[in-house]
Amino acid sequence: MKRKNYSEHTVKNYLHRLQQFIGWLAVPVEQAVRQDVKLYVDCLMEKGMKARSINCHISVVRCFYDYLRDEENLRIDNPVASGLALREPHPLPRYLGDADVEVLLGVINNSRDYAMFMLMLRCGLRVQEVANLTLDVIDYRRSQILIKHGKGAKDRIVYISNDAAESLASYLRQRPITREDKIFLVEKGLCKGQPLSVRGIQKRIEYYAKKSGKAVSCHKLRHTMATQLLNADADLVTIQDLLGHTKIKTTMRYCKLSNRKAQRDYHEAISKVIEKSGNVVKKNLRC
Q: So what's the architecture of 98-260 in CATH?
A: Orthogonal Bundle (1.10)
Average pLDDT, the chain: 85
pLDDT, one tens digit per residue, over 116-156 is: 999 999 998 999 999 999 999 999 899 999 988 777 677 88
Q: Give the whole-angstrom CA distance, residue 195 versus residue 112.
A: 12
| DSSP bridge pairs for 182 | 134
| DSSP bridge pairs for 156 | 147
Q: Check if the beta carbon of residue 120 is closer than 8 Å to that of residue 129.
A: no
The pLDDT value recorded for residue 275 is 76
Per the confidence metrics, is the pTM higher than 0.85? no
pLDDT at 262 over 90: no
* Helices (H), ranges, the chain: 8-24, 34-46, 51-70, 98-106, 111-123, 127-132, 162-174, 198-212, 218-231, 236-243, 248-252, 260-286
Domain boundaries of the chain, sorted by first residue: 8-70, 98-260
| Percent with pLDDT over 90 in the chain | 43
Instruction: Report helix, strand or coil for 157.
Output: strand
The pLDDT value recorded for residue 268 is 79
The pLDDT value recorded for residue 91 is 59
Q: Tell me the residue type at 21.
A: F
Q: Give the whole-angstrom CA distance, residue 54 versus residue 48.
A: 10
Q: Tell me how far CA of residue 256 lies from CA of 19, 71, 92, 122, 235, in angstroms.
A: 38, 43, 7, 21, 15
- Which has the minimum average pLDDT: 119-133, 140-154, 180-194, 244-258? 244-258
